[in-house]
A and B are shown apart, each in its own frame.
Chain A
Amino acid sequence: MKDAFGAPQSLLVLGGASEIGLATARRLIARRTRRVHLAGRPSPALDAAAAELSGLGADVHVTAFDALDPGSHEEVLGKVFAEGDIDMVLLAFGVLGDQARDEQEPLSAVRVASTNYTGAVSSSLVCGAALQRQGHGSLVVLSSVAGERARRENFIYGSSKAGLDAFTQGLGDALHPCGVHVMAVRPGFVRGRMTAHLPPAPFATTPEAVAEAIEGGLRRRSEVIWVPGRLRPVMAALRHLPRPLFRHLTAAR
C-alpha cells in the first residue's frame, strides 16, 4: 500500500533497464519501496539493473516483457500482479529512433510508433485493469515534451508520444472513479544514453530530476507533471505560436 505521502511499497517498471525507470526506483527504494518488478527484454543491462536495486535492499524480480508483442502482455503482466498488489506501475519504455533513417525506411518508423504507442496502449490497459481490481495504485506514464507540438527534427518520435499522452489522459479519466491514479510525465530533453549523440537542447534535464518530480507528483496525486516545471508555461506559449513562426524558430536551431 502507498503511505500518506504517496510513497509506494511495491513497484513495477515496464522498460526495466531505462535510466529514468532506475533513477525513480532508486529514489523510491530510499523511502518505502521494498518489492520491485523490472519488466523488459532480457539483456545484461536488465540484469545489472536488478543487481543494483537488490544491493539497495529491495526484493527484485525480473520479468521478460516485450513492448512489441502485445499478445503476450496479459499473461506476462498478469503473473506479476498475481504475486501481490502493485502500488505503482511506471511505464518507462520507449525508443527515440533515428529521424533521418526512419523517414527513408517506413518500417523503422513503424517500429518506433509500435513500441512507443501500441505497446504502451496494450500494457497500460492490462495494468490499469489490474489496478482497478485491487482498488488502488498509480500508473505513471513517461510522455515527452516532444508530444506537445510536432517538430521537423523528431516528428516520428514526437507523434508517438503525442498519441501516448492523449491516451494517458483519457485512461486517467476512465480510471479516476475507480481510485486509480494516472499521471503523465512530460520531461524535456533528458541527458542520458538515448540522447548521448544529440546536441543538448534548452531546458535539458536529467533522469534524477525526473525521478524527483515523479516522487513529488505521487505525493500531490498530480495528473500531469512537467520536468523541469518551467517547461509548462514555455510550452503553453509555444503551442499557440503560428506555424510559420514556429517553423522558422525550430529550423533556426
Chain B
Amino acid sequence: MPVPPAPATTSVTGWGRTAPTTARLLRPGTYEEAVEAVRACDGRGAIARGLGRAYGDAAQNAGGAVLDMTGLDRIHEIDAVGGVVTCDAGVSLHRLMEVLLPLGWFVPVTPGTRYVTVGGAIGADIHGKNHHVSGSFSRHVRALELLTGDGETRLVTPEADPELFWATAGGMGLTGVVLAATIQLLPVETSLMTVDTERATDLDDLMARLTATDHRYRYSVAWIDLLARGARTGRAVLTRGDHAPLEALPERARRAPLAFRPRRLPAAPRPAPDGLLGRTTVGLFNELWYRKAPRAQRGRLQKLATFFHPLDGLPDWNLVYGRSGFVQYQFVVGQGQEETLRSVVRRLSTRGCPSFLAVLKRFGAGDPGWLSFPMAGWTLALDIPAGLPGLGALLDELDEEVAAAGGRVYLAKDSRLRPDMLARMYPRLDDFRSLRARYDPRGAITSDLARRLAL
C-alpha cells in the first residue's frame, strides 16, 4: 500500500515542546462551528486548545482534531457594579485584565502567565499565589456553557449540576468543550501591588516563615535555589504582596491608578542550542537571583505584571530549553507531610537538577473539582531540560514518594506520569471515567493526555 499523501495536519506540542503529535487544527469562530466540529469528528475525537500553555500533552490529539478556541473571544457582558463577567472560553486572562482593570476589577485567580484562556483556566482548574485565600479558579466560576461529546450544549452551574460542573473543573477538557463562562471578579483600587520580599537561608527556615505569616498576605510564593547544597539546601526568596490601596500610591500615580500597560520584549527567534541551561549557567543565575533579592524589604510598589507574570515579558521563553524541550514537575503533599517535601528537595539538589528557580507555595484547603490538583499543604514546581539523562527514572521515583505521602502531580504540567500512579493520586478517577462515558458515549472528546494516562 502506498503511503497516502499527507493530509492537512499540523504538528502540535505543549509549552514544554516534548512529544509532538499531528492533528487537524480547526478554529471555530462561532458556537455552531464548534458544535459541528465535535459532531463531525471521527474515531480519533477532538480536544479544545487555548493558548497552549499546558506543559504536556493535554491539548494535543494525535490523528484527530484540535479545536483552537482562540477564535471564540467575545466578552458578552460585564456587570461593573457586582463584578461579574461573562465571556467566551477563548478570551485570555490578559484580555480580561485589559478590559476589567480600568473598571476596578481583577481576575480572581491568575497563574504565572496571563496568556491562558478562560477555558484553559477551568479545564486545569488553575491556582495562583492566592490559593491559601481564594482557592482555585473554578471556585469563582458561577456558570459555564459546556459542549459535551454527545453534541449537546449545556448550561452548567455548581448548584444545578454539581457533578458535571466539578468534573469539568480540572477535568483537562475531557468532559467537553467549554464555550463560555461567567466569573465573579475581585475588586481592586489600583493596578499596583505592595510587595514584601525576604530571604530564607534554608528549607526549614522557609517553611517556618511561610507557615507563620502566609495568612497576612493575599499573595504569597517562594523561589527556591535547587542547586544550593549542604546547609544552604532549600535557600529561597519569599515574595508576598497585596493589591495596593489608593492611598499607598505616590501623588503622580494616583492620577491613573488603574493603568495596565505591560511591556513585552521581542520573541526569542528560534530554539536555543541544547544544553544552554546546564548546571553552570543555571547555578550562576540562581546565585545572582538569590544575592540580588533584598534580605528584607517591606511595602515596595510593583506593577501587576512584574509581580504575577515576570516571564510573560519574554515571549516564547520556552525556546531557551533547546530542541529537546523541557518538563515541568509540580507536585503537592498534604499538611504534615513536610518530610516528603524535604526528601524530594534533598534528592533534587543532590542530583544537581539544573532547574531555574523552583517555586514553593503553601496551598489552602483543597478544591471540589474531581481532578483538581490543590490540596491543603505544600506544592513545589520546577522546570528541567528534558534532555537530561536519567531524568525520567528520577521523576518516577519522586512520584512514588509523593503518592506514598498521599500527594499528587499536576496534570496541566504533566507529560510523563506512569498511568498506574494516577488512581493513587486522584481518588475520584473512577467517578470521572464513568461520568465521561455517560456524557460522551462515543468517545468524541479525547486527548493525548487521556490516551497516555487512560483517563
> Which A residues fall within an 8 A CB radius of B?
1-7, 9, 31-32, 34, 74, 85, 125-126, 128-129, 132-136, 171, 174-175, 177-179, 219-221
Query: What are 19 A-B contacts defined by CB distance under 8 Å?
Result: A1-B19, A2-B19, A4-B18, A4-B327, A5-B386, A5-B416, A31-B393, A128-B3, A129-B3, A135-B23, A135-B61, A135-B63, A136-B22, A136-B448, A175-B3, A177-B6, A178-B6, A178-B9, A179-B20
Interface band, chain B = 35 or more
Q: How far is the CB of A185 from chain B (nearest CB, A)?
A: 19
B197 located at the interface, meaning its Cβ lies under 8 Å from any Cβ of chain A in the complex: no
Residues of B within 8 A of A9 (CB): 419, 452
Residues of B within 8 A of A7 (CB): 392, 416
User: B259 near A: Cβ within 8 Å?
Assistant: no
Complex: A220 Cα to B322 Cα, angstroms: 11
CB pair B3–A5 under 8 Å, yes or no, is no
Bound CA span A98–B184, Å: 78
Q: B-side binding surface: helix, strand, loop or mixed?
A: loop
- Which of A136, A177, A219 is the one whose CB lies under 8 Å from B324? A219
B452 and A135 contacting across the interface, CB-CB below 8 Å: no
**Is B418 an interface residue when CB atoms closer than 8 A count as contact?**
yes
Cα A134 to Cα B416 with chains together (Å): 20
Q: Does B391 contact A (CB under 8 A)?
A: yes
Distance, CA A49 to CA B338, complexed state (A):
45
Are B62 and A135 in contact (CB-based, < 8 A)? yes
Please indicate the chain A residues that have their CB under 8 angstroms from the CB of B64 in the complex.
Answer: 135
B250 at the interface (CB under 8 A from A): no
In contact, A125 and B2 (Cβ under 8 angstroms) = yes
Write the chain A residue with the least CB distance to B327.
Answer: A4
Q: A4 to B416: give the CA distance in the assembly, Å.
A: 6
When the two chains form the complex, which single residue of A3, A74, A85, A129 contacts B19, counting CB atoms closer than 8 Å? A3
Asked if A135 contacts B3 (CB within 8 A), the reply is no
* CB nearest to B10 among chain A residues: A179
Least CB separation from A171: chain B residue: B3
Q: A1 to B418, Cβ gap below 8 A?
A: no
Interface string of B203-229 (1 = CB under 8 A from A): 000000000000000000000000000
Give residues 35-92 of B contacting A (CB, 8 Å).
44, 56-57, 61-64
**A125 engages B324 (CB within 8 Å):** no
Contact A179 B1 (CB under 8 A): no
Q: Nearest 3 CB-CB pairs, A to B?
A: A135-B63, A179-B22, A135-B62
- CB–CB B415/A136 < 8 A: no
Across the two chains, which residue of chain A brings its CB closest to B56?
A4
Task: Give 13 new A-B contacts, CB below 8 A, not counting A6-B19, A125-B3, A179-B22.
Answer: A3-B415, A9-B419, A74-B1, A85-B62, A135-B21, A136-B19, A136-B62, A136-B448, A171-B3, A174-B3, A179-B9, A220-B387, A221-B324
Asked whether, in the complex, the Cβ of A136 is within 8 Å of the Cβ of B63, the reply is yes
The answer to whether B1 touches A126 (Cβ under 8 A) is yes
A1 touches B448 (CB 8 A): yes
Of chain A, the residue at the smallest CB distance from B21 is A136
**A221: B residues at CB distance < 8 A:** 324
In Å, the complex CA distance between A74 and B1 comes to 8
Residues of B within 8 A of A174 (CB): 3
Q: Taking the nearest CB of chain B, how far is it from the CB of A61, in angstroms?
A: 18
Chain A residues closer than 8 Å to B415, beta-carbon distance: 3-4
Contact of B392 among A3, A135, A220 (CB under 8 A): A3
* Closest chain A CB from B145 CB (angstroms): 29
The complex places the Cα of A175 from the Cα of B392 at a distance, in Å, of 27
Interface presence of B451 (CB below 8 A): yes
Q: Which residues of the partner chain A approach B386 to less than 8 Å between Cβ atoms? A: 4-5, 219
- Nearest CB of B to A55, in Å: 18
Q: Does B4 contact A (CB under 8 A)?
A: yes
* B325 adjacent to chain A (CB < 8 Å): yes
* Known contacts A4-B56, A179-B62; is-contact A132 B3 (Cβ 8 Å): yes
Question: For the complex, is B11 an interface residue (Cβ under 8 Å from A)?
Answer: yes
Would B2 and A3 count as touching, CB distance under 8 A?
no
A57 CA to B11 CA in the complex, in Å? 33
A2: chain B residues at CB < 8 Å are 19
Contact assessment for A179 and B416 in the assembled complex, using a CB-CB cutoff below 8 Å: no
Chain A residues whose CB sits within 8 angstroms of the CB of B1 once the complex forms: 74, 125-126, 129
- Nearest A residue to B396, CB-CB: A31
- Which B residues are in CB contact (< 8 Å) with A179? 9, 11, 20-22, 62
| 8 Å CB interface, B407-455 against A | 415-416, 418-419, 448, 451-452
Cα distance, A229 to B419, chains bound together (Å)? 33
- Taken together as a complex, chains A and B put the C-alpha atoms of A6 and B416 apart, in Å, by 9
- Measured in the bound complex, the distance between the Cα atoms of B22 and A132 in whole Å is 9
Closest residue of B by beta carbon distance from A31: B392
Rounded to whole Å, the gap between the CB of A33 and the closest CB of chain B is 11
- With both beta carbons as reference points, the residue of chain A lying nearest to B325 in the complex is identified as A4
CB distance from A141 to the nearest CB of B (A): 15
B451 touches A135 (CB 8 A): no
Tell me the bound Cα distance from A5 to B57 in angstroms.
12
Q: For the complex, what is the distance from the CA of A89 to the CA of B13, rounded to whole Å?
A: 22
Return the CB mask of B170-214 against A: 1 if under 8 Å, else 0. 000000000000000000000000000000000000000000000
CB contact under 8 A between A1 and B416, given known A128-B3, A129-B1, A133-B63: no
Q: With A and B bound together, what is the CA distance between A9 and B392 in angstroms?
A: 14
Q: Which residue of A lies closest to B418 (CB)?
A: A32
Question: Would you call B16 an interface residue if the criterion is a C-beta within 8 Å of the partner chain's C-beta atoms?
Answer: yes
Residues on B with beta carbons closer than 8 Å to the beta carbon of A125: 1-3
Contact bitstring B360-400, A, C-beta under 8 A = 1, else 0: 00000000000000000000000000110001110000000
Partner of A219, one of B7, B62, B387, B452: B387
A132 and B6 alpha carbons, distance in the complex (Å): 8
Q: Contacts A9-B452, A136-B21, A179-B9: A1 and B3 contacting too (C-beta < 8 A)?
A: no
On whether the beta carbons of B391 and A135 are closer than 8 Å, the reply is no
Give Cα A126 to B391, complex, Å: 34
Q: Are A135 and B416 in contact (CB under 8 A)?
A: no
